[in-house]
Amino acid sequence: MNSDNILHIFQFFLLLFLQSFLLNNINLFGFINPNLYLLFIIIYRLDGNPTLLIIIGFVMGLLLDLLTQGSGGHTIATLTIAFLRLSIIKFSFGVNYDVPMGMIKGSLLRQRLLYFMLMVVIHHLILYSIVYFSFDNTITILKNTLFTSFFTFIMVYISLGLFREKND
């Protein structure tokens, strides 16, 4: 349990610095910056303490906003996704989701993809709605959400493979 916590703290800061110093400067096609830091909230233990996750999500978004001179979009988006995670898990894995650790290996591929997709898309939708914050920019918000979600999703999926191999 203790080494687990240390691993979590390590992951937290690794993803945070990776996001703020590397991934936020990619600007693929001028506007796409995959938000890989979401991985931390996605792979947080399914039976972990949800209250703690909300606090972690808030702190993570806040630190990211401070590091990247953001206005506060990451804070609100990450906080909200951390809060909604429980409902998303229930929705995508069904009611008896309480497979403790090996959820990603044990569950169906379809369920897994639905879970990742919902997490990523909802997070990005909130993030860009907050950043643009105006009905006139609805098209821009949807466009950014779509493309950035796509790239984040791919990165999350790839990195998940890496993490799993290491854990085994």
Partner 1 sequence: MRQLVNALLKYKNALLYIGLLIISFLFLNQRSFYHQSIFSNASLVLSSNLNQAGKNISSYLNLASSNEKLIAENIKLKGLELILFSEQAEKNQATDNFPFQVIGARIIKNNYQSARNYLIIDQGYLDGVEKEMGVISSDGIIGIVNQITANFSSVISILHRDIKINASFKKNGAYGSLYWQGNHPKKMKLDDVSTINPILVGDTIVTGGMSDYFPYGIPIGKVSSFKRPKLEGYYDIDIELFSNLTQKEFVYVLKNKMKDQLNQLKYE
The binding site for partner 1 (CB under 8 A) comprises 50-51, 54-55, 58, 61-62, 65, 71-73, 75-76, 79-80, 83, 86, 130, 133-134
- What's the CA dihedral at 52, 65, 38, 163 to 10 degrees? -90
CB of 133 to partner 1, least distance (A): 6
CB of 106 to partner 1, least distance (A): 25
- Of 78 and 107, nearer to partner 1 (C-beta) is 78
C-alpha radius of gyration, the chain, whole number: 15
Residue 79: which of 44, 43, 54, 116 has the closest Cα? 54
- Of 42 and 77, nearer to partner 1 (C-beta) is 77
> Which residues of the chain form beta strands (DSSP E)?
none
Dist CA 116 CA 2 (whole Å): 27
CB of 163 to partner 1, least distance (A): 26
CB of 75 to partner 1, least distance (A): 4
Q: Kind and range of the H or E element at 39?
A: helix 38-42
- Of 10 and 133, nearer to partner 1 (C-beta) is 133
Do 33 and 6 contact (CB within 8 A), yes or no?
no
- Of 68 and 159, nearer to partner 1 (C-beta) is 68
